[in-house]
């Protein structure tokens, strides 16, 4: 018997917004760190070596030696009673964004968190939304600057999930927001608020996560976007080129990565008579191991050990209301045409 389609009505449109970040171990213990590193460093987007070469190194050397050392570092930054800073702050961002959208009259959007590695995974929210009949999904990688090692890996995970579905939802993905006015305004606010409290430093260091130089040579736009962000922020702060440096941190392995490297740069600044520096990590939406331990502990020690007098770390945007406002506008802009209640981005 034929179905009478004229008697059916479309359900109210609901939209899922997924905030994606890198991920974190479940606990600061070697076993949990090993599981996380196996997934992270097993991603072909992260380590672009032939699998026959890389897998014996990963499982025979890296996953044998590194988990214990990394677990000790995670313990230094773990938030008691809450967990990994990266997950804690990303969850706060999602909660605040959900509330701010509601205050703006946006009632048809659900906001969830999805980590590329570890839990809660990207597919957790996608599968939940599909069961709920949500057929419009916006994926927001919280990487301001696009890279194949980060944003493209999120796209891979989403596409892999889609490849297992018969009824694929309407999908949009925020590619980057390196030059977004709201994002830059939030960075500017963070720095100027810090300076109002502590005074200006002798030098500002803008430290971005590094990637292999080979990736850039093959077409990755990440380095160019980092320089764009830094240049636009410096303009907002009225900084001359001699008053700030752009550096890259978190080098892994023997390959040549983007330079200048952060730690050697701050050591040289100290040896050259710079006594006070501020360090900001604009490429991280949330504080994490790389900012709280590597920068605020290891790099701090290196600067002071080489003659520096005062090292001041400026926290990531985290749950700063100015950043949440910018994030809300990024989301609303990318929901254009999907919205059903007439709300628009706040200008």
- Per-residue pLDDT tens over the stretch 141-150: 999 999 999 9
Q: What is the mean pLDDT of the chain?
A: 93
Is residue 82 in a domain? Answer: no
- What's the pLDDT at 229? 98
Is residue 125 in a domain? Answer: no
**How would residue 341 be classed by pLDDT, with cut points 50, 70 and 90?**
low
Is residue 23 in a domain? Answer: no
Q: Encode pLDDT of 174-210 as tens digits.
A: 999 999 999 999 999 999 999 999 999 999 999 999 9
298 annotated as ligand-binding: no
Q: Is the pLDDT of residue 345 over 70?
A: no
Domain total for the chain? Answer: 1
Is residue 100 in a domain? Answer: no
**What average pLDDT does range 28-49 have in this prediction?**
96
**What average pLDDT does range 274-283 have in this prediction?**
98
Is residue 124 in a domain? Answer: no
- What's the pLDDT at 253? 81
**What average pLDDT does range 52-73 have in this prediction?**
95
Q: Is the pLDDT of residue 12 over 90?
A: no
- What's the pLDDT at 252? 84
- What's the pLDDT at 104? 85
Rounded-to-5 percentages of helix, strand, coil across the chain: 50, 15, 35
Sign of the CA dihedral running 261, 265, 266, 267: positive
Percent of residues, the chain, with pLDDT higher than 70: 94
Indicate the range of 2-6, 243-247, 255-259 predicted with least confidence.
Answer: 2-6
- What's the pLDDT at 34? 97
**How would residue 10 be classed by pLDDT, with cut points 50, 70 and 90?**
very low
- What's the pLDDT at 342? 47
Residue of 334 and 11 predicted with greater confidence: 334
Q: Is the pLDDT of residue 297 over 90?
A: yes
Residue 61: phi, psi to the nearest 5?
-125, -60
- What's the pLDDT at 202? 98
Is residue 345 in a domain? Answer: no
**How would residue 223 be classed by pLDDT, with cut points 50, 70 and 90?**
very high
- What's the pLDDT at 340? 52
Residue 304: phi, psi to the nearest 5?
-70, -35
Is residue 260 in a domain? Answer: yes
HSE (side-chain half, CA atoms, 13 Å) at 45: 18
Indicate the range of 10-24, 44-58, 76-90 predicted with least confidence.
Answer: 10-24
Q: Is the pLDDT of residue 79 over 80?
A: yes
Q: Is the pLDDT of residue 123 over 50?
A: yes
- What's the pLDDT at 13? 59
CATH of the domain at 214: 3.40.50.1400
- Which residue range is the domain that position 193 belongs to? 181-314
Sign of the CA dihedral running 173, 175, 181, 184: positive
- What's the pLDDT at 343? 52
301 annotated as ligand-binding: no
Q: Give the C-alpha distances (Å, rounded to integers) separating 290 from 94, 207, 265, 266, 308.
A: 21, 10, 17, 16, 21
**What average pLDDT does range 80-98 have in this prediction?**
97
Classify residue 298 by its DSSP letter: I
Is residue 225 in a domain? Answer: yes
d(CA 270, CA 240): 19
């Amino acid at each position: 018997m034929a179905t009478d389609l004229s008697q059916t009505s479309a359900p109210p449109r609901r939209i899922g917004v997924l905030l994606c970040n890198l991920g974190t171990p479940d606990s600061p213990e070697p076993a949990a760190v090993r599981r996380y590193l196996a997934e992270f460093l097993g991603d072909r987007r992260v380590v672009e070596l032939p699998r026959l070469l890389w897998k014996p190194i990963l499982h025979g050397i890296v996953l044998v030696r590194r988990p214990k050392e990394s677990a000790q570092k995670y313990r230094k930054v773990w938030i008691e009673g809450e967990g990994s800073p990266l997950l804690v702050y990303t969850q706060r961002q999602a909660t605040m964004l959900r509330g701010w959208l509601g205050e703006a009259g946006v009632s048809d959007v659900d906001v969830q968190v999805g980590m590329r590695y570890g839990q809660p995974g990207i597919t957790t929210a996608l599968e939940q939304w599909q069961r709920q009949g949500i057929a419009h999904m916006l994926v927001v990688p919280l990487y301001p600057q696009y890279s194949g090692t980060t944003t493209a890996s999120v796209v891979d995970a989403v596409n892999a999930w889609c490849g297992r579905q018969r009824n694929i939802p309407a999908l949009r993905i925020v590619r980057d927001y390196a030059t977004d006015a709201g994002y830059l305004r939030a960075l500017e606010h963070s720095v100027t608020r810090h300076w109002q409290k502590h005074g200006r430093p002798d030098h500002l260091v803008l430290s971005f996560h590094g990637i292999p130089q080979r990736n850039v040579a093959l077409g990755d736009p990440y380095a160019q976007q980092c320089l764009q962000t830094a240049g636009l922020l410096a303009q907002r702060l009225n900084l001359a080129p001699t008053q700030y440096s752009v550096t890259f941190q978190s080098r892994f392995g023997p390959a040549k990565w983007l330079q200048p490297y952060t730690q050697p740069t701050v050591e040289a600044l100290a040896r050259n008579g710079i006594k006070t520096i501020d360090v900001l990590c604009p490429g991280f939406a949330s504080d994490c191991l790389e900012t709280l331990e590597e920068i605020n502990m290891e790099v701090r020690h290196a600067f002071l050990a080489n003659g520096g007098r005062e090292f001041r770390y400026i926290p990531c945007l985290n749950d700063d209301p100015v950043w949440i406002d910018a994030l809300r506008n990024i989301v609303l802009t990318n929901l254009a045409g999907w919205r059903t209640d007439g709300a628009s981005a706040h200008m």
